């Protein structure tokens, strides 16, 4: 299996007295088709890790490779292009545009690829079908339940056929039952071959995932994949 994501000795520090090392030498490899939980308490550096994997931020040192592209040294413009084609984001707060229907919210995931509206909507419909919301395409976010909103957001992350999906506390704003449904959707997508990283502080939730990476104080504490090897 080829590596979809590769972090080599990634350091992210913020200037100050003393300087804060949010990430302190993290190395991580995620292969194509993996479903990985990145677990850590708040302040552990997992948000910084998410930003760096998501190319929203650049590491202070070290290299990040996604889908064969070294993204850690790219210009802002190139990073934008990388985000539009390589990465799909799922956020705790869903981040749906309130004035747009479910279909158009999902189609927004393709807005910056230059595809025309017809193609964007067609592929958005396909993505909504995959998350089981084909019957809700004309609804506004306010007319959807929390679980449905998060599924719309997942469809938006899927729509550009990304190399990797990054989900940041995807069940954080949902009750436990709905959270379970969202997690089983991730399992389904995983079964279909998607590469997914779920960032969470919830150890229980992470334990259901095939691979767990624990992070604390900006360092990898444990990686279930490495333990197996060991």
List contacts with another protein (CB under 8 A).
4, 32-33, 51, 54, 56-57, 67-70, 74, 76-78, 80-87, 89, 91, 93, 95, 97-100, 108-109, 111-117, 156, 158, 160-165, 189, 192-195
Q: How far is the CB of 184 from another protein (least distance, A)?
A: 16
Q: How far is the CB of 93 from another protein (least distance, A)?
A: 7
Of the pair 16, 114, the CB lying nearest another protein is at 114
Q: How far is the CB of 127 from another protein (least distance, A)?
A: 9
Of the pair 7, 82, the CB lying nearest another protein is at 82
Of the pair 76, 228, the CB lying nearest another protein is at 76
Using CA atoms, how far residue 161 sits from 51, 92, 165, in Å, is 20, 21, 9
Q: How far is the CB of 151 from another protein (least distance, A)?
A: 15
- Is 37:206 a contact under the CB 8 Å cutoff? yes
The residue count for the chain: 230
Of the pair 65, 176, the CB lying nearest another protein is at 65
- Is 8:31 a contact under the CB 8 Å cutoff? no
Give the integer Cα–Cα distance in Å for 127 and 186.
14
- Cβ-based neighbours of 114, under 8 Å, separated by 6 or more: none
Q: 190-214 burial, b if ≥16 CB within 10 A, otherwise e? A: beeebbbbbbbeeeebbeebebbbb
Using CA atoms, how far residue 164 sits from 24, 53, 65, 118, 175, in Å, is 23, 10, 12, 25, 26
Q: How far is the CB of 3 from another protein (least distance, A)?
A: 12
Any idea which residue has 């449904």 for tokens?
181
Q: How far is the CB of 82 from another protein (least distance, A)?
A: 6
Of the pair 7, 91, the CB lying nearest another protein is at 91
Of the pair 161, 203, the CB lying nearest another protein is at 161
């Amino acid at each position: 299996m080829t590596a979809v994501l590769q972090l080599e000795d990634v350091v992210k520090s913020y200037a100050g007295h003393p300087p804060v090392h949010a990430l302190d030498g993290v190395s991580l490899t995620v292969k194509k088709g993996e479903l990985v939980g990145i677990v850590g308490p708040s302040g552990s550096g997992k948000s910084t890790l998410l930003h760096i994997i998501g190319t929203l931020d650049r590491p202070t040192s070290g290299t990040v490779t996604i889908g064969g592209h070294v993204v850690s040294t790219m210009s802002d413009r190139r990073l934008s292009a990388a985000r539009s084609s390589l990465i799909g984001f799922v956020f705790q707060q869903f981040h749906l545009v309130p004035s747009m229907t479910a279909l158009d919210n999902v189609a927004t995931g393709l807005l910056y690829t230059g595809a025309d509206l017809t193609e964007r909507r067609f592929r958005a419909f396909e993505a909504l079908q995959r998350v089981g919301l084909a019957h809700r395409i004309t609804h506004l976010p306010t007319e959807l339940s929390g679980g449905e909103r998060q599924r719309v957001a997942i469809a938006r992350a899927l729509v550009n056929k990304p190399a990797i999906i990054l989900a940041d506390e995807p069940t954080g704003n949902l009750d436990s039952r709905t959270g379970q449904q969202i997690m089983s959707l991730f399992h389904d997508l995983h079964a279909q071959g998607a590469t997914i990283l779920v960032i969470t502080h919830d150890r229980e939730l992470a334990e259901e995932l095939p691979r767990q990476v624990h992070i604390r104080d900006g360092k990898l504490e444990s990686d279930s994949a490495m333990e197996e090897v060991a």
